[in-house]
Amino acid sequence: MGGAIAFDNMDFIDLKTQQSLIRSDIEKRIAAVLNHGQYVLGPEVAELEARLAAFTGAKHAIGVSSGTDSLLIALMALGIGPGDEVITVPYTWISSAEVIALAGATPVFVDIDPLSWNLDPALLEDALTEKTKAIMPVGIYGQTADMTAINQIAARHGNIPVIEDAAQSFGATHHGEQSCHLSTIGSTSFFPSKPLGGYGDGGALFTDDDELAEKMRWIRVHGQERKHHHPVLGMNGRLDTIQAAIILSKLDLFPDEVGRRQEIGSRYTDGIRNLPGIQTPQIAEGNTSVYAQYTILCDDREKIQSHLREKEIPSVPYYEVPLHLQPVFTNLGHQQGDFPITEKVASQCLSLPMSPYLNSADQARVISSLSC
Ligand SMILES: *Cc1c(COP(=O)(O)O)cnc(C)c1O
């Protein structure tokens, strides 16, 4: 390293520090599962569901196999299929639109707001048709969309169901209410790098609606109402007991981690705000963010990425190719220029190292590498 001061390699997302805090608790919880042997829908799944419901304030929480399956189960429970349209954003992880197509419906994209980078409610009404059967806003990078405005529009147009894709925003709040408890159905992911991540795949669904909750529970287990009775089409969408045990352990740390995420997010913004050529994330009024990613917009992303690379600081352009330009969605007939805000953000975005345990020395090193 030619005389430079040697640093430990910085993780893009540090999962090791957290593990060192809960490793023995996790081992105990896994041992308990090995002892009782109920690997599928065992008691830890029910315990986790009760804890998640209490945390969010939702009446029902349902553990499922992933944050993608959870969105699909939500669409299936709402009876969405061929001929239907579901609105989402082109600036998100592929799952949000993928599940709409998997359900046989058509994804209809609405561009994002230039400050929050979430669905722009001002553009929503123009995208509604009589085929619109659900609206799926995403809480990108850890803050929710303007769910209040979106819910109002949905209510005005015959109570269109709103599914919140909260895979990145679990733990965030919108006017004091928890993400996942802001609309008809909330959906989150426990993929390891998410704010509440497990050690594998998992997810959860949230609703206050008894009937929808029952249907989603059926769909999670092959549409089964009771043994050998299948009133609706379902899938294998269950959360593993061992995964639930791990997430229970992580949930104990989670409120503290949310606070740390907010502190680290603010420290990034304070340090970066005045640097030329960089836009920091704006947290909308009434929102808090869990900073699933800390993402900036760079006038010259190439230059900043190469500075970071020189210092061995990891960074990732989440999401550099918008969904309307992905080959898999060619059939939707979109082209460059259709969603200008999405395309601008996609061409400038860069996510920086972020975790609740990012220490201030490492963070200062990231910030100083941006300013050269
Ligand atoms: C991660 C993610 C998903 C999918 O979650 P998985 O658990 O990986 O299936 C869906 N939507 C968004 C916005 C995500 O970030």
CATH number, domain with residue 178: 3.40.640.10
Among residues 248, 268, 291, which one ends one of the domains?
A: 248
Nearest CA to ligand 1 atom 7: 67
- 167 touches ligand 1 (CB under 6 Å): yes
Distance of CA 52 to the CA centre of its chain: 16
Residue with CA closest to ligand 1 atom 2 = 167
118 lines ligand 1 (CB under 6 A): no
Which DSSP string do the residues of 17-38 spell out, in sequence order?
A: HHHHHHHHHHHHHHHHHHHH--
- Provide the pLDDT confidence category of residue 8 given band limits of 50, 70 and 90: low
Residue 319 forms part of a structural domain: yes
Find the DSSP H helices in the chain: 16-36, 43-56, 67-77, 95-102, 124-127, 147-156, 210-220, 241-272, 301-310, 340-348, 360-370
* Domain limit, last residue, from 248, 270, 292: 248
What is the value of pTM for the model shown?
Answer: 0.96
Assign residue 323 the CATH number of its domain. 3.90.1150.10
Q: Are residues 162 and 28 in the same domain?
A: yes
Are residues 301 and 218 part of one domain? no
Identify the domain boundary among 248, 274, 302: 248
Kindly give, in sequence order, each residue whose CB lies less than 8 Å from that of residue 239, ignoring residues fewer than 6 positions away: 45, 48, 63, 64, 65, 190, 202, 203, 204
Residue 6 within any structural domain of the chain = no
Residue 371 pLDDT level (bands cut at 50, 70, 90) = confident
Q: 170 in ligand 1 pocket by Cβ < 6 Å?
A: no
Is there a domain that residue 152 lies in?
yes
Percent of the chain past pLDDT 70, that is, above it, reads 98
Q: Which atom of ligand 1 is nearest to the CA of 189?
A: 7
**Cα–Cα distance between 358 and 354 in angstroms, integer?**
6
Q: What residue type is 280 in one-letter code?
A: T
Q: Phi and psi (nearest 5°) for 371?
A: -90, -5
Residue 2 lies inside a defined structural domain of this protein: no
User: Does some domain include residue 123?
Assistant: yes
Distances (CA, A) of 353 to 27, 126, 141, 287, 313: 28, 37, 13, 22, 8
> Taking 60 as the threshold, does the pLDDT of residue 72 lie above it?
yes
Question: What range does the domain containing 300 cover?
Answer: 253-369
Helical residues (DSSP H) of 108-209, grouped into ranges: 124-127, 147-156
Indicate whether 92 and 141 sit together in one domain: yes
Asked, for residue 330, whether it belongs to a domain, the answer is yes
Mutate to test the pocket of ligand 1, among 69, 91, 92, 93 (most ligand atoms within 8 A of CB): 93
Half-sphere exposure of 352 (CA within 13 A, CB side): 29
Nearest to 322 by CA among 305, 303, 340: 340
Report the first-to-last Cα separation within the chain, whole angstroms. 19
Residues 239 and 258 in one domain: no
On whether both 145 and 283 belong to a single domain, the answer is no
Are 119 and 63 members of one domain?
yes
Q: Which residues pair with 164 in a beta bridge?
A: 186
Residues 258 and 243 in one domain: no
**Over 80: is that where the pLDDT of 213 sits?**
yes
Q: Measured from the CB, is residue 52 less than 6 Å from ligand 1?
A: no
- One domain, residues 209 and 268: no
Q: What single-letter amino acid sits at 290? A: V
Q: Is the pLDDT of residue 65 over 60?
A: yes
What contacts 37, CB < 8 A, 6 or more positions away?
Answer: none
- Asked, for residue 228, whether it belongs to a domain, the answer is yes
Residues 234 and 307 in one domain: no
Cβ atoms of residues 370 and 311 within 8 Å: no
* Cα–ligand 1 centroid distance for 167 (angstroms): 5
**3-state SS, residue 147:** helix
User: Does the Cβ of 169 fall within 6 Å of ligand 1?
Assistant: no
Shared domain for 226 and 81, answered yes or no, is yes
Ligand 1 atom closest to 71 (CA): 10
The answer to whether residues 243 and 257 belong to one domain is: no
Whether 9 is covered by a domain: the verdict is: no
100 ligand 1 Cβ < 6 A: no
Domain count, the chain: 2
Q: Taking Cα atoms as reference points, which of 103, 107, 116 lies closest to residue 136?
A: 107
Verify that 225 and 262 share a domain, yes or no.
Answer: no
Burial 262-285 (b: 16+ CB within 10 A, else e): bebbebbbebbeebeebbbbebbe
What pLDDT does residue 285 have?
96
Dist. CA 67 → ligand 1 center (Å): 5
Whether the CB of 201 sits within 6 Å of ligand 1: yes
Q: State if residue 293 touches ligand 1 by the CB under 6 angstroms criterion.
A: no
* 179 Cβ below 6 A of ligand 1: no
Q: How far, in Å, from the CA of 367 to the mean position of ligand 1?
A: 28
Banded model confidence at residue 1, pLDDT cuts 50, 70, 90 = very low
Query: Atom of ligand 1 at shortest distance to CA of 139?
Result: 13
Q: Is 98 in the pocket of ligand 1 (CB under 6 A)?
A: no
Residue 213 is encoded by which pair of tokens? 């909750």
Question: What tens digit of pLDDT does each residue of 254-313 get?
Answer: 999 999 999 999 999 999 999 999 999 999 999 999 999 999 999 999 999 999 999 999
Q: What is the pLDDT of residues 152-186, one digit of tens each?
A: 999 999 999 999 999 999 999 999 999 999 999 99
For ligand 1, the distance from its centroid to the CA atom of residue 189, given in whole angstroms, is 6
